[in-house]
Chains A and B, each alone.
Chain A
Amino acid sequence: MNKNTRLFLDNMVRHLFLAFIGVFFILPLLWMISTSLKANRQIFVFPPQWIPNPVIWRNYPDVFDYAPFLLYFKNTMVIEIACIIGVFLSCSLVAYGFARLDAPGKNFLFILMLSTMMLPYQVWMIPLYVLFTKIGWVNTFYPLTIPAFFGNALYIFLLRQFFMTIPKELEDAARIDGCSYFRIYWQIILPLTKPALATVVIFTFMGVWNDFLGPLLYLQDPEKYTLAIGLQVFLTQHGADWGLLMAASTMVVLPIIVIFFFTQKQFIQGIVLTGLKG
C-alpha cells in the first residue's frame, strides 16, 4: 500500500468515526422535530417512523391553543431586554475600572469578585429570597432583572481581559487632551471591544432564556410566566402528549439555535475565554 492510499484510508476512518459519533449528538434533536410532526398513532409504533408520513403540522398551532406561549414569549423578552441593558452597562463600566484605573484596595476587590464566581449560588439564594419577599418583589420581574444592573462577576472578568488588550497609548493621548475617563470608556473602549461586548450580550440572552430556578422562585401568577417556567407547567398538564410537548420544546429551542448559527464566532470565543480563566 503506498503512502497516499494509506493517508486516504486514515482520513476515511477518521471521518467515519467522527460522523458516527456526530449521529448520536444530532439524532435526539432530529427525533424531537420528527416527533413534533406526528400524530399519536405515528408516535407509538415499532419500528419507528423516522420521517413522519404524513407530516402533521397540527401540534404547532395546538400548543398556542392550550397555553399562552405568546404571552410567555413577551414576558421573557421584557426580562431579556432589561437584563441585556443592565449587564451591558454595569459590566462594561466595572470592567473598565478594573482594567484601567488604579486605586488602593483594587486588588483586594478584584480577588473578592473572582472568589464569588467559585461560590455555590445556594449560599446567598435563601436570604435573597427572604429579602425580595420582604420588599414585596415576589411575583414581579424585579428579582429577575434589577440584579443585572449591578454587574456579573464572570462577564466583568471577561470584559476586563479584553479591555486590557487595547493599547494604552490611545487613552493617554486622550487624557492629555483633557478627555474624561467616562468619555474614554464610552468613545474609545466600547467601540473597540464590540466583539467582546457581543459575546456578553449573547451569553446574557442565553442565560435569561434558560433560567428556570429564578422564575420558579419568583413568578407565581401564570400571567407572568416566562417560556422556561411555562414549558415546565405545560409538561405537567400534557404529560403524555409527546407530539404537543415536542412541538412546544422545538419552538423554545429554535431561537437559540438560530442565534447560535449567526453568532458562532462570538459563542466559541466566549466559551474559550471563560473556559480558560482557571
Chain B
Amino acid sequence: MKHSKLKRQEIFAFYTFISPWLIGFILFTGGPIVASLYFSLTNYTVLSKPEFIGFGNYLSLFKDPLFWTSLYNTAYYAVFFIPLGILMAFGLSILLNQRVKGLAVYRTVYYLPSIVPAVANAILWIWLLNPQWGLINTILKLVGIEGPGWLTSEKWAKPGLILMSLWGVGSWIIIYLAGLQGVPEQLYEAAEVDGATKLQRFLYITIPLMTPTIFFTLITGLIGAFQVFTQAYIMTNGGPVNSTLFYALYLFRNAFNYLKMGYASSMAWILFLIVLILTLIQFKLAQKWVFYE
C-alpha cells in the first residue's frame, strides 16, 4: 500500500511520539514477561545458570502446602474485604450524595486515610491494633469489650488487616460518588411522577445504573487482593504461624529470600492465570447483571 507524503509524515511522527513507551515496553515489560515465562520452566537461582525443567516448578507448587496457605489467606482477604468495601463505599456515597451541607468536609475526612503512605500506614496500624494499648482495643475496653490480640493472634491477624484496608476505602467512595452524580436526575423525577417509592427508585434506578461502578471495584479489588504485600511484610511478616502469608508475600520470599527465581516466576504465572480467569468469569457474569446504557 502506497501512502502519500503527508500520510508517511504522520506515520513517522506517530511512531516517534510513542517511541518512549514502545522502547520501555520492550525493555521493561514485554521482554521481562517473556523471560519470566522461560524462568518459570527452569530451576534458576541467580547463582547458577537456568536449567530447563519443564513444568517441574508448577508440579512442586501444587505439592507445596505454603502455596495453598498463601492462596487461602489471599482468598480470605478478598472474600471479606471486597464485599465489605463495596457496601461501605456505596452506603457512604449515597449519604454524601443527598445534598448535605459540608459535603466537601465529609468527603475529605473519608478520603484522607487512603492517601497515608503505605509504610507509615503499616506502622500506624501496628500501633492501633496493639492488644494492650492500641486505640482499637482501648475503645473496645471503654465500651466493656475485651479486644482480641489482633496481629499477635492467628485467628485475628487477617481481620485486623482487613479492618485496616477498610479504613483506606476512600478512593472507592469517591468513585461511587462520581457514579451516583452521573445518574440523570430526570429518571428519578419521572419515576416519582409515576408514583415510585424511595425504595423502588433505589432498587430500579440507582442500583442498575451503578452496576458498572460495582463491577469496576470488584475487578480492581480482586487484582488488589493478590498484590497485598507491604502491610503483610512490615506488620506481621506473614505470621503468626503463616496466617498472613499472602500470595504476593510468599512469591517475594521465594524470589528474594530463598533466591528460587524459577519457582517464584511460576508463582507469578499462576497468579496471572488466576487473575485472568477470575476477570474473564466476571466479564462473562457481567453480561447478566451489569447495565450499560
Q: Residues of A with Cβ closer than 8 Å to B? A: 11, 14-15, 17-19, 21-22, 24-29, 31-32, 35, 43-44, 46-48, 89-90, 93-94, 96-98, 101-104, 106, 109, 112-113, 116, 118-131, 133, 147, 149-151, 153, 156, 181, 185, 206, 209-210, 212-213, 216-217, 227-229, 231-232, 235, 242, 245-246, 248-249, 252-253, 256-257, 260-261, 264, 268, 271-272, 275-276, 278
**A32:B124 contact, CB within 8 angstroms:** yes
**A275:B171 contact, CB within 8 angstroms:** yes
Beyond A113-B25, A118-B279, is A18–B95 a contact (Cβ under 8 Å)?
A: yes
B20, B267, B269: residue with the most chain A Cβ atoms closer than 10 Å? B20
> Which residues of chain B are within 8 angstroms of A253 by Cβ–Cβ distance?
116-117, 120
> Which residues of chain B are within 8 angstroms of A21 by Cβ–Cβ distance?
92, 110
> Which residues of chain A are within 8 angstroms of B32 by Cβ–Cβ distance?
123-128, 131
CA distance A102 to B239 in the complex (A): 53
**A120:B226 contact, CB within 8 angstroms:** yes
CA distance A98 to B15 in the complex (A): 10
Name the residue on A nearest B138 (C-beta).
A48
**A127:B112 contact, CB within 8 angstroms:** no
CA distance A248 to B230 in the complex (A): 18
Name the residue on B nearest A110 (C-beta).
B18
CA distance A135 to B110 in the complex (A): 45
> Which residues of chain B are within 8 angstroms of A130 by Cβ–Cβ distance?
35, 46, 261
> Which residues of chain A are within 8 angstroms of B261 by Cβ–Cβ distance?
126, 130
Interface string of B1-44 (1 = CB under 8 A from A): 00000000011011111101111110111011101100100000
**B112:A94 contact, CB within 8 angstroms:** no
**A246:B268 contact, CB within 8 angstroms:** no
> Which residues of chain A are within 8 angstroms of B130 by Cβ–Cβ distance?
242
Closest beta carbon of chain A to B125's beta carbon, Å? 8
**B106:A18 contact, CB within 8 angstroms:** yes
CA distance A278 to B271 in the complex (A): 21
B196 beta carbon closer than 8 Å to chain A? no
Interface band, chain B: 35 or more
Beyond A147-B24, A276-B216, is A252–B119 a contact (Cβ under 8 Å)?
A: yes
Name the residue on B nearest A131 (C-beta).
B32
> Which residues of chain B are within 8 angstroms of A131 by Cβ–Cβ distance?
32
Segment among B62-70, B185-193, B248-256 that sits at the interface with chain A: B248-256
> Which residues of chain A are within 8 angstroms of B205 by Cβ–Cβ distance?
none
Q: What does DSSP make chain A's interface, helix, strand, loop or mixed?
A: helix
CA distance A227 to B96 in the complex (A): 35
Q: What does DSSP make chain B's interface, helix, strand, loop or mixed?
A: helix
Name the residue on B nearest A122 (C-beta).
B268
- 15 chain-A/chain-B pairs, Cβ below 8 angstroms: A11-B100, A14-B95, A18-B100, A46-B138, A47-B142, A89-B20, A97-B18, A109-B18, A119-B272, A123-B272, A181-B13, A231-B119, A252-B120, A278-B219, A278-B220
B77 beta carbon closer than 8 Å to chain A? no
B210 beta carbon closer than 8 Å to chain A? no
> Which residues of chain A are within 8 angstroms of B25 by Cβ–Cβ distance?
112-113, 116, 150
Q: Which of B118, B142, B216 contacts A275 (CB 8 A)?
A: B216
**B138:A22 contact, CB within 8 angstroms:** no
Beyond A116-B29, A212-B118, A246-B127, is A122–B271 a contact (Cβ under 8 Å)?
A: yes
CA distance A133 to B256 in the complex (A): 13
Name the residue on A nearest B13 (C-beta).
A181
B128 beta carbon closer than 8 Å to chain A? yes
**A35:B117 contact, CB within 8 angstroms:** no
Closest beta carbon of chain A to B121's beta carbon, Å? 8
Name the residue on B nearest A233 (C-beta).
B119
**A256:B116 contact, CB within 8 angstroms:** yes
> Which residues of chain A are within 8 angstroms of B101 by Cβ–Cβ distance?
15
**A94:B18 contact, CB within 8 angstroms:** yes
Name the residue on B nearest A149 (C-beta).
B20
Q: Which of B14, B174, B248 contacts A268 (CB 8 A)?
A: B174
**B124:A28 contact, CB within 8 angstroms:** yes
**B135:A257 contact, CB within 8 angstroms:** no
Beyond A228-B118, A272-B174, is A22–B110 a contact (Cβ under 8 Å)?
A: yes
CA distance A149 to B234 in the complex (A): 30
> Which residues of chain A are within 8 angstroms of B219 by Cβ–Cβ distance?
278
Name the residue on A nearest B212 (C-beta).
A278
Name the residue on A nearest B103 (C-beta).
A18
